[in-house]
Chains A and B, each alone.
Chain A
Amino acid sequence: MTDDAKLTAQSAASASGHAAADAGSIAAEAMRRRRRRRVLTYAGRLITLALIVGGWQVLTDVKIVDAFFFGSPVGIVNRLIDWAEHGTAYGSLWEQIWITIEEALLGFVAGVVSGVVFGVALGEFRYLADVLGPYIKVVNALPRIVLGSIFIIWLGLGMSSKVVLAAVLVFFVVFFNAFQGVRDVDRNLVANARILGASRLQITRHVVFPSALTWIIASLHVSLGFSIIGAIVGEFLGAQKGLGLVIATAQNTFDANGVFAAMLVIGILALSAEALMAQLERRLLSWRPPSSAEIADAAVA
């Protein structure tokens, strides 16, 4: 009993004496560990990249892999430098990139706006949904890429056919999410707004739309990727400019390095778009409590 008491008293004294220092050192230790893990993660990523790229280069150098069919990292970089300095067959590289970005962005905006408008309208008005539902399902069931051919016949080889194709791809993703989001709205919130005196339009604006926004924003990630796919596939099917055309040309001339170089550019485009979208999403959904996944992300990043 007395021993116990003594022990407790001792540990209490030492605890109060070192409490501040302990808290400080624990925080510092945690910080150190986190930084260490981050450095290790990046190092691991770099090594992986070096292994893949280096291995590829070595394999083509010693001719285990045929550089004519598979390209090589050095060949790809040279092709990019060549494009940047002397331009592609259709004008400067920057012009091709810009054309594709423009088509994708216009298609994205058109697809998102129309998707949200139709999604919310059909979600809010049951009658509209009942009438139009089957048609939307039919169009959605089509492999939408084949629509690209029709758009090129209708709209020609210019940008508009690609914009429309990108918009159609984006539309369906956003539409279904907006529709589902509207249907998913908490009935309790709507009832509360009605009691507080909200009109139908006010309910849509202040309750239904913001509630559906979570779903809509979740669809934007996928949509942005789809808009780039739409633009490039459209260019592939028939165009006068753009990265898709550059790839198609490289393919026709068996220029593997050219195909990979264009792929690399598209990849960088897609990744930057993704990063921008993540930023936008964070801003728009700032009211939400951080999910555990996001906390985990923050810890790793």
Chain B
Amino acid sequence: MGVALAVGPVTGRTPGSIELLGVTKRFLTPSGASMTALRDVDMVIAPGQFCAVVGPTGCGKSTTLTLVSGLDRPSAGTVRVGGQPVEGIPKGVGFVFQNDALLPWKTVLGNVLLGPMFRGLPRKEAEARGREWLQVVGLADFASHHPHQLSGGMRKRVSLAAALINEPSILLMDEPFGALDVQTKAIMSNELLALWEQTRPSVIFVTHDLEEAIGLADRVVVMTAGPGTVKAVYDIDLPRPRGAVQEIRFEHRFLELHQQIWESLRSEVGRAYARTAAIPGAVGGQA
């Protein structure tokens, strides 16, 4: 896997910055009331930065990504990508969803070349690029398989190739490895890092796994329980290239950072849990 990665067909690009300024997002609940999912979120991600976002379930992490990707609009505040206010889907954005968004009726190759095809590349060229990218993620032999014939890890790699083939300057990932088993997740994390280090898009990586966040990111953002807002930002000064995520987590600095961030995160997790479980007093103590 790691060897194949060295031949990535990626060329140079101008990376994009991401800015959220005073962003608030409200939803209408089915009963007609207004529910605030995000409140006054300020977040700035420099070009080429790998930013992980952690926070309790329902705190608005996915919502943040839909706002940056232009799939939805903020109720208040500004979202800027590459310096431009977001209107519609900004250029150069890639998205890897939690549940892989592969078209089940298309083959693996058909799924990977969707991006170039949608952008009007001739079929032949799109196919050639698709095959290159399948090579990069080590799935060249599975080009004509259908998604349901692959394992979860392989499907994730297809999703990754499908997102990266458009050479995004901004990569949004919503708990991309959340559904994978621990070993596959570790392998995928390493592959993601290798790909990222080659092409250096700006990344917002949403996860509920703090170790994963620290292992991958330059910066970890902790969000409060809903309505979500930025609680704290931690710069991760572990050297790059990081190497294997599963080894780095025993290093002294890693443990220190983990300790620090977990302190901040756990009270939010406790609050979110108390809200959903509605057992007053049952949480907070050892959460």
Contact = CB atoms under 8 A, between A and B. Distances in A.
Contacts of A210: 103, 105
Given A199-B118, A287-B146, A194 B103 contact: no
B97 A188 contact: yes
Contacts of A197: 89, 115, 118-119, 166
Contacts, number: 57
Which of B69, B89, B163 has its CB near the most chain A CB atoms (within 10 A)? B89
B94 interface: yes
Nearest to B95: A195
B93 interface: yes
B103 A207 contact: yes
A186 B115 CA distance: 18
Contacts of B95: 191-192, 195
Interface in A175-226: 186, 188-189, 191-199, 202, 206-207, 210-211, 213
A195 to B, nearest CB: 5
> Chain A at the B interface: mostly helix, strand, loop or mixed?
helix
Nearest to B101: A192
B148 A196 contact: no
Interface residues of A, number: 21
A218 to B, nearest CB: 15
Contacts of B216: none
A189 B105 CA distance: 12
Contact of B104 (A192, A196, A198, A288): A288
B118 A193 contact: yes
A289 B95 CA distance: 26
Interface string A106-129: 000000000000000000000000
Interface in B77-124: 89, 93-95, 97, 99, 101, 103-106, 114-115, 118-119
Given A189-B103, A207-B103, A194 B166 contact: no
A196 B89 CA distance: 9
Contacts of A191: 66, 71, 95, 97, 101
A54 B225 CA distance: 77
B76 to A, nearest CB: 23
Nearest to A196: B115
Given A195-B95, A198-B118, A189 B71 contact: no
A194 B70 CA distance: 10
A229 B208 CA distance: 58
B154 to A, nearest CB: 15
B71 A194 contact: yes
B162 interface: yes
Contacts of A206: 103, 114, 118
Nearest to B149: A289
Contacts of B106: 287
Contact of A195 (B93, B104, B105, B146): B93
A287 B71 contact: no
A202 B118 contact: yes
Contacts of B66: 191
A196 B146 contact: no
Given A191-B71, A194-B89, A289 B148 contact: yes
B103 A196 contact: no
B97 A287 contact: no
A289 B150 CA distance: 11
A92 B149 CA distance: 53
A188 B101 CA distance: 6
Nearest to B148: A289
A207 B110 CA distance: 12
Nearest to B66: A191
Contact of B114 (A186, A196, A199): A196
B174 to A, nearest CB: 10
12 contacts: A186-B101, A191-B66, A192-B97, A193-B118, A194-B89, A195-B69, A195-B93, A196-B115, A197-B118, A202-B118, A287-B105, A287-B146
Interface of B: 66, 69, 71, 89, 93-95, 97, 99, 101, 103-106, 114-115, 118-119, 146, 148-149, 162-163, 166
Given A188-B97, A193-B118, 11 more contacts: A189-B103, A191-B71, A191-B95, A194-B71, A195-B71, A195-B94, A197-B89, A197-B166, A287-B146, A288-B105, A288-B148
Nearest 5 A/B pairs, CB to CB: A192-B101, A197-B118, A198-B118, A196-B115, A289-B148
